[in-house]
């Protein structure tokens, strides 16, 4: 019978996972046909050596290598690997999971890099206005009341700030509630269909189309045919939107439509069909799809920078308004004293 200490040690060791750097290096080694056992030995540091020992022990006990390995990877890599292993070999599944996850991470990091400062600036600006209106505005008005009793205009401004702050808080509450509701994967498709109906040319559609193309390109690189790739993407239950897009493309294939016709549906970017048509005509489909991804990344970066500038302008405007109010209030005593002279 196992002791409590043994059970705790097992639980602790099961949480140890390969680092992102190790997985990236592993993908590079597997891509040049280095055997898995040697590749794991090369990329593992002292901490990860315990993972290899655990893997070897569990395999000797009769467990499948795919199940054992999946317990020691995390995030998108683990999600992709568990879906891909049902269709591909171990090497193909882990290679595709690592490379796809890594490229998707690059796009997300670009977005975060471009927007984190403007969002933080806007957040602190709104908080600053709230604190000023709640704790500083009233005392400032009272401090100048002895110089100029008629401060009706300032109270009107304060009421305007109250309304603006209440509206912002209402929007934040609604946005938070919507986020909590739609973060559930079962609601993703419903939301996307509704957004696509009212915003048919949105950046969201381009982003999902790029992710769809990314999976296809990476599948082609390891020799998976297009129809087989679509079947794999349909099985991505942890990626409901990608599965949804693959379902519509596969349904078009079943109806006898060509590749460019299959991707020419209202849920994918309208430019994708033209790209695929040119790629098939020229015999350079993979190159055209890779160019489509590069073009999207550039467009996405410009889009993020545009919104970052808009958020910065709004933040600076809010800060400027507060400074202007403070200046006007502090200028009242000076103007009254000047009038006496």
Question: pLDDT tens-digit profile of 155-192?
Answer: 777 788 788 888 888 888 898 888 888 888 888 999 99
> Which residues have C-beta within 8 Å of that of residue 209, sequence separation ≥ 6?
245, 268, 269, 272, 296
pLDDT (tens digit per residue) in 50-75: 888 888 888 888 888 888 888 888 88
Please name which of 278, 279, 213 lies closest in space to residue 249, comparing C-alpha atoms: 213
Which pLDDT band holds residue 12 (cuts at 50, 70, 90)?
A: very low
**Token pair 């908080």: residue:** 127
**What is the distance in angstroms between the CA of the first residue and the CA of the last residue of the chain?**
96
CA 195 to CA 178: how far, in whole Å? 14
pTM of the model as a whole: 0.77
**Exposed, middle or buried: residue 225 (CB in 10 Å: 0-12, 13-18, 19+)?**
exposed
- Find the angle CA(76)-CA(186)-CA(197) to the nearest 5 degrees: 105
Residues in the chain: 341
Q: Is the pLDDT of residue 5 over 50?
A: no
């Amino acid at each position: 019978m196992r002791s409590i200490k043994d059970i705790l040690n097992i639980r602790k060791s099961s949480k140890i996972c390969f680092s992102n750097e190790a997985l990236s290096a592993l993908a590079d080694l597997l891509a040049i046909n280095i055997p898995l056992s040697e590749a794991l030995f090369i990329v593992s540091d002292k901490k990860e050596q315990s993972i290899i020992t655990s893997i070897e022990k569990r395999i000797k006990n009769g467990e499948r290598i795919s199940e054992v390995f999946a317990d020691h990877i995390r995030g998108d890599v683990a999600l992709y690997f568990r879906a891909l292993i049902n269709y591909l070999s171990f090497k193909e599944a882990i290679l595709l999971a690592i490379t796809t996850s890594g490229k998707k991470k690059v796009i997300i990091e670009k977005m975060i890099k471009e927007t984190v400062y403007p969002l933080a600036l806007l957040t602190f600006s709104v908080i600053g206005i709230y604190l000023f209106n709640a704790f500083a505005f009233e005392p400032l008005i009272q401090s100048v009341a002895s110089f100029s009793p008629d401060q009706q205009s300032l109270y009107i401004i304060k009421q305007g700030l109250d309304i603006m702050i209440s509206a912002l808080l209402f929007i934040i509450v609604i946005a938070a509630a919507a986020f909590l509701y739609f973060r559930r994967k079962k609601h993703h498709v419903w939301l996307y269909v509704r957004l696509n109906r009212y915003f048919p040319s949105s950046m969201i559609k381009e982003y999902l189309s790029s992710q769809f193309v990314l999976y296809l390109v990476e599948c082609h690189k390891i020799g998976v045919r297009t129809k087989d790739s679509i079947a794999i993407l349909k099985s991505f239950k942890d990626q409901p939107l990608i599965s949804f897009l693959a379902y519509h493309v596969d349904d078009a294939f079943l109806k006898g439509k060509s590749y460019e016709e299959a991707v020419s549906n209202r849920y994918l970017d309208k430019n994708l069909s033209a790209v695929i048509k040119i790629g098939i005509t020229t015999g350079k489909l993979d190159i055209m799809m890779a160019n489509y991804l590069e073009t999207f990344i550039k467009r996405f970066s410009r889009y993020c920078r545009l919104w970052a500038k808009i958020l910065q302008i709004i933040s600076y405007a809010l800060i400027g308004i507060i400074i202007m109010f403070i200046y006007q209030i502090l200028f009242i005593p000076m103007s009254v004293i000047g009038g006496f002279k």
